[in-house]
Structure 1
Amino acid sequence: MNTVRRSFWHEPRPAGAPSVGRLDRLLVSIYAVATVIEGIVRPEVAWRPLVTVLALAVTPALLWRRDRPLVAALLGWGVAGLLSVLQLAEDTEDLGLYSMMVVLILLFSLVRWGSGREVVVGTAYVTVVGALGMYATSADWGESFGGSVLLLSVVALAAVSRYRADLWQRQQLEIRNQERVALARELHDTVAHHVSAIAVQAQAGGVVAGIQPEKAVEVLAAIESEASRTLAEMRSMVQVLRDDEAAAYAPQKGVADLPTLARTDATPIVAVTVAGSWGELAGPVDAALYRLAQESLTNAVRHARGATHVEIDLRREGDAARLRVTDDGQAEPGPAPEPGFGLTGMAERAQLLGGSLSAGPGPDGGWVVEAVLPVEAPA
């Protein structure tokens, strides 16, 4: 419940709120023409030129009603409030055009597409302007009740429309998540099948190589073909699973991108040191060093209690690359916690490249993640 309330309060506007389109422009054109015609054919309206100009001033609000619903409501209902003030000052009963009823659309748009903060501020403003209008027209109890019911009906209709749109959005997201889970299971089954086939052929190749060396070439070709088919199927499925990313594969980040992780404008401060020459670094190792540093930094920012400084240090030691990520956070009392899935995945990534990874409390406090990877990736 609290999550929903915070989302409603801080969300700029619900997902799916469209920008200005052809229908909005048509609505604006109809309103402008109707306002001009009404200003001409209603001679009983006091101050017709001024009233017509003020009514036309609402036109931009109709274009902003989706993208900036609060601004649109303040503008439209501000014009209505100004007309009520003029009506009180002139003590006249007829100061306004029927086309000004378009401000009800602005109230609907405010509740439909505004954030929680905008809805609260906007509806309070509309309530004040509406009460001022009823007072200016000397409305009796019945007219005041009818006007209030009309405003509440517009608010209720917008709230229902907003709820139905959010419900539809959640249903679509749930359907997509179910499809993603199904694809993930299919990916697992596909990879497991092909890897099993590769393992069997590799075992057979070890036997054949000792008896019939010429047959080993055929086995290696079959393994290569099976591996290529596995990679192709994996990439096609992963491309579907990455619904929030571009379809094209972007270049992987590496050691050259480590300085971008540094920051001095937030807590904890992140310092990055890269020492040595990294020109001939193998591609998989290059990408793994960046990912290990990035994941270690993310863990430090999220979980290190009271951390004010995180240091990422990468150095080359002969044929090995040593990555060390430390923070000055406060260690939890008691024994070191069991490694989570994140650290386990990082350790497996390092082991696949022939390296190692360790993580634990530092001797001087804080948390230390250290990875050692060979510069040349294993075959």
Structure 2
Amino acid sequence: MLRDDLRTLWTEPRPPDAAARVWRDWALLGAGLGGVVLEATLREDVVWRPVAVVFAVWLCVLPLWRRTRPLATVTLAFGSMILLQVASLIAAPREPVGLYTGLVVLVLVYALPRWGSGREIVLGGAVILGAFVLSVVTDETPAGEQVAGFVFLFLPGLIGAAVRFLATARERQLEQVRSREREQLARELHDTVAHHVSAMVIRAQAGRVLAGTDPAAAVEALEEVEEEGARTLEEMRAMVAALRDRGAGAELAPPAGVADLERLVRAPGGRLRVDLKLDSALESLPPAVDAAVYRIVQESVTNAMRHAVNATEVVVRVTAERHTVRVSVRDNGQRTGRGRDGYGLAGLRERAALLGGRLQAGPGSDQGWHVEAELPRGRTESGAHPRPRR
């Protein structure tokens, strides 16, 4: 089992969402260089001052690449520390060489398990451990201080590993939410298409019966329509049955849509008044878009009921244009800075994207929380607009 765990760690890839640089990198660099200047100017006990200053500047610059090159930055930083320790061991200075600003290397220790692959974590950890062992061998420090130094050095790495685990777990949960949303959409599309295909089969059967005069060509055509329709229906049922969770019963009732929004917002138990206004041109929406509008309003109103601070009203607007449907849900609570979407909004964003639309959610410019969605009335190809229903 241990061998399998080590093999899994060795083959672990890097996290996919590593940013090259953000503003915090430049702030860290500025703070580090400022610390170097202050130490080099004010401290009188600096040993090998030019070497210590250059070394500290080197350590301050390396974190700029800590996310994209975690192993390289750790190797360069702690490798140079090993070389400096060897040089100081040969020259035997009175005090340790270096500036306190060199503690910036702890950022690299954090970044290694946070952004590195499994192979990089193992190799980089070996380099860090080697530098620590060399310092223990060369410095005559009590055992208690050595243990404290070990904990101090590797604690940022444990924090980085914990942060990575939490981020991975959240991403896994988000992917499960997206998968459930895709499954729900597939179920709704299946129910809709199955209805039309079933009607096609019935009409084909009727056409064959009505061909009383036995026109051979018509009968053959009707038989082909019937056969193809039945085959399509069977294959589609098999495909969606594989997508569905076997533990959850299949929903045979048609999905809720725009026509059900009045009943949704009038449901008892809500602590906020819901102001709902719908366009009159929403009757002919495609079933998938119709269900998506309902789900967006349902999730947004539910979130407002649960999380809106000091809100008294939720304003819901669903407007139809020639080629798009727009959904807007806003509450009048205090403006909040909720930084990231919950799993419900992540699923709705996935659904909107699958339909070719988009969804945005965030604090409003003046107050409350706003959800804005734009969905196409029907899928188009090559930029052509969907044909209106007859």
The correspondence for 1:128, drawn from 127, 130, 136, is 130
Q: Number of residue pairs matched?
A: 232
Q: Distance in 1 between matches of 2:54 and 2:72?
A: 19
Q: 1:240 aligns with which of 339, 350, 354?
A: 354
Deviations 1:70-126, CA, capped at 9 Å, x for gaps? 001111212322332233223322311111011111011111111111111111110
Identify the residue that residue 161 of structure 2 maps to in structure 1.
159
Cα distance in 1 for partners of 2:5, 2:353 equals 31
- In structure 2, relative to structure 1, the CA distance for the partners of 1:5 and 1:235 (3 Å cut) is farther
User: Which of the residues 142, 145, 158 maps onto 1:143?
Assistant: 145
Conserved? CA contact 2:46–2:97, under 8 Å: yes
Partner of 2:340: none
- Say if 1:86 and 1:36 are closer, same or farther in 2 by CA, change over 3 A: farther
Q: Does 1:34 align with 2:148?
A: no
Residue 105 (structure 2) pairs with residue 103 (structure 1): yes
How much identity, in percent, do the aligned residues show?
39
2 CA distance for matches of 1:163 and 1:144?
Answer: 29
Cross-structure match for 1:57: 58
Q: Deviation per CA, 1:195-226: give whole Å up to 9, x if none.
A: 12333444556677889xxxxxxxxxxx9xxx
Deviations 1:256-283 (A, max 9, x none): xxxxxxxxxxxxxxxxxxxxxxxxxxxx
**Structure 1 179/69 Cα, relative in aligned 2: closer, same or farther at 3 Å?**
same
Q: Report the Cα distance in structure 2 between the residues aligned to 1:72 and 1:206, rounded to whole angstroms.
A: 76
Cα RMSD after superposing both structures: 3.8
Q: Distance in 1 between matches of 2:28 and 2:211?
A: 79
Shift of residue 17, structure 1, vs aligned partner: 2.4
CA distance in 1, matches of 2:187, 2:75: 51
1:115 aligns with one of 114, 117, 133: 117
Q: 2:197 aligns with which of 191, 195, 198?
A: 195
- Structure 2: distance between partners of 1:26 and 1:73: 20
Structure of higher RCO (CA pairs closer than 8 Å, 6+ residues apart)? 2
Partner amino acid for 1:104? L
Structure 2: which amino acid aligns with 1:27? L
Measure the CA separation in 2 of the matches of 1:37 and 1:209.
Answer: 98
**CA positional deviation for 1:10:** 2.5
Which digits, 9 at most, give the CA deviation of each residue in 1:48-76, with x for residues without a partner? 11211111112342011111100011112
Correspondences of 1:1-379 after superposition (within 5 Å): 8-88=9-89, 89-203=91-205, 240=354
Give TM-score scaled by structure 2 length.
0.51
- Judge conservation of contact 1:55–1:79 (CA < 8 Å) in 2: no
Q: Which stretch shifts more, 82-91 or 47-56?
A: 82-91
User: What is the deviation of 1:150?
Assistant: 1.4
C-alpha distance 93-103 of structure 1, shift in aligned 2 (>3 A):
same
CA distance in 2, matches of 1:249, 1:35: 60
Stretches of structure 2 lacking an aligned partner (at least 5 in a row): 214-224, 230-284, 290-350, 357-378, 383-390
Tell me which amino acid in the other structure corresponds to 1:199: V
For 2:354, the aligned partner's letter is V
Q: Which amino acid aligns with 2:59?
A: V
| Secondary structure in structure 2 of the residue aligned to 1:15 | coil
Specify the SS of the correspondent of 1:157: helix
Deviations 1:229-260 (A, max 9, x none): xxx96998897189xxxx9979xxxxxxxxxx
Query: Whole-Å Cα distance in 1 between the matches of residues 137 and 210 of structure 2?
Result: 99
Counterpart CA distance in 2 for 1:7 and 1:59 is 33
The one-letter code of the counterpart of 1:113 is W
Q: CA, structure 1 residues 43+10, in 2 after alignment: closer, same or farther (shift >3 Å)?
A: same
**Alignment-mate amino acid for residue 103 of structure 2:** M
CA pair 140-155 structure 1, distance change in 2 beyond 3 A = same
Distance 1:14 1:7 in 2: 15
* Paired position in structure 1 for 2:232: none
Distance 1:87 1:248, change over 3 A: farther
Note the residue ranges of structure 1 that are not aligned, 5 or more in a row.
Answer: 212-222, 251-379
CA distances 1:124-165 after superposition (whole Å, capped 9, x unpaired): 110110122233432221211110121232222222112111
Give 1:18 shift: 2.4
